[in-house]
Amino acid sequence: MPKIAIIGSKGIPARYGGFETLAENLVKRLHKQCDFIVYCSGPAYEEHPETHMGAELKYLPLDANGAQSIPYDIWSMIHASSRADIMLILGVSGCIFLPVLKLFYRGKIMVNLDGMDWKRPKWGRLARAFLKLSETVAAKFADQLIADNDAIHDYIGDIYGRDSFLVEYGGDNARSEIPEKAGGSLSVIALHKHGNDDDLVDTGFDKYAIAVCRIEPENHIHVILEAFSQANTLPLVFLGNWSNSEYGQALRRRYRANPNLLLLDPIFEPRKLFALRSNAQLYIHGHSSGGTNPSLVESMSLGLPVIAYDVVFNRATTENMALYFDSTLSLVSILRQLGSLDLEGNARNMRELAKRRYSWATIASKYATLFDLPKISLPDTAVEQSLPEPSARPAAAVEPLRPIHNTDVSAKLPRVESNTAP
């Protein structure tokens, strides 16, 4: 069987983000057709088992993020060069090394370019210049490029003149859970706060919206919190790493006393997180970078109505069927109109779209095609969720793996103008 090295994630078991969940689902669904070696960040795991779901795990004493991601990826490539038939490299941090790697490695190199990381405002000028250079090198020297979003798909063709393949992320690892109610209160969800197993998460709200993301300016946390504080309609539960930056700490100090807002630290235990999300009334998505975002497709799979920041990535992911905001004012306007909006239709569309495009069976099948593995069978339907089956729209066929076409995504996805708050 071919041996495939997965490089660039923190590792598996998945606890952190999109690349880790991708790696885990590929191993879970394809391990009978190939051998995997997954490179893992040693500091990210307290325990270091040698295998997981049949995959070999190789731990490196480096962080998979930040500046250390560069030597982390390069070290992984060098180690894998004598062991793997295919390298699946997630992100471009170490791809500056590809011209050297190609001198002695004869296997196939596949790079998932991620979401144009060099454009993220959180990076300084030098970091952005390095990431852009590394992306350019990846686009030139990789044997196969992978895009996770239509906008990235088109960008690769327009800027680098290369074909790529559209392979998004799955979201059906999320599942609906009906929480236990403590003490008869509808507002108390029987979940434990991260790091304190004795405390219940009491939202204080019978109904709430939810947002889950890294606390960074590009995710428009300040816009979302200010809108919910002004609208004073549906409360918001917001999970994120508030303590990791001055930006997050300042926002928490400013809004923590607002009775309409509950700002929680991250919850990494999947059952607890999914229970809190699946019982929300709607999902707020403020990301403006990064292609197809895992938390968005997971919320779509849970059947939540989606209100997303108005950028081409989010419109491509939701096929222009969500609600969109581009400012505090426009989000306030949406929140004050919730009673008259078709949120049930929004939820049905999101759930149906997720079943059609964002199941892990579909994503694994596309990667199996890229790896030249035997075709895997797809289930007739995705994992059943708590909402009723959509009836107004016919079920669509699974979207096949397809090469890039040089089309303008922004032309296909018209922008919604800001509404004026009443």
Which tops the pLDDT comparison, 125 or 364? 364
Rounded Cα distance, 202 and 351, in Å: 27
List domains and CATH numbers for the chain.
3-166 (3.40.50.2000), 188-358+408-412 (3.40.50.2000)
- Identify the band that residue 115 occupies on the pLDDT scale cut at 50, 70 and 90: low
Q: State CA 296 to chain mean position distance.
A: 6
pLDDT of the residue at 378? 61
pLDDT of the residue at 176? 60
The model's pLDDT over 262-306, given as tens digits with 9 standing for 90+, comes to 999 988 777 778 778 888 999 999 998 878 999 999 999 999 999
- Identify the band that residue 338 occupies on the pLDDT scale cut at 50, 70 and 90: very high
191 pLDDT higher than 90: no
The model's pLDDT over 135-151, given as tens digits with 9 standing for 90+, comes to 999 999 999 999 999 98
- Identify the band that residue 95 occupies on the pLDDT scale cut at 50, 70 and 90: very high
**Range list of β-strands (E), 13-70:** 35-41, 51-52, 55-60
414 pLDDT higher than 60: no
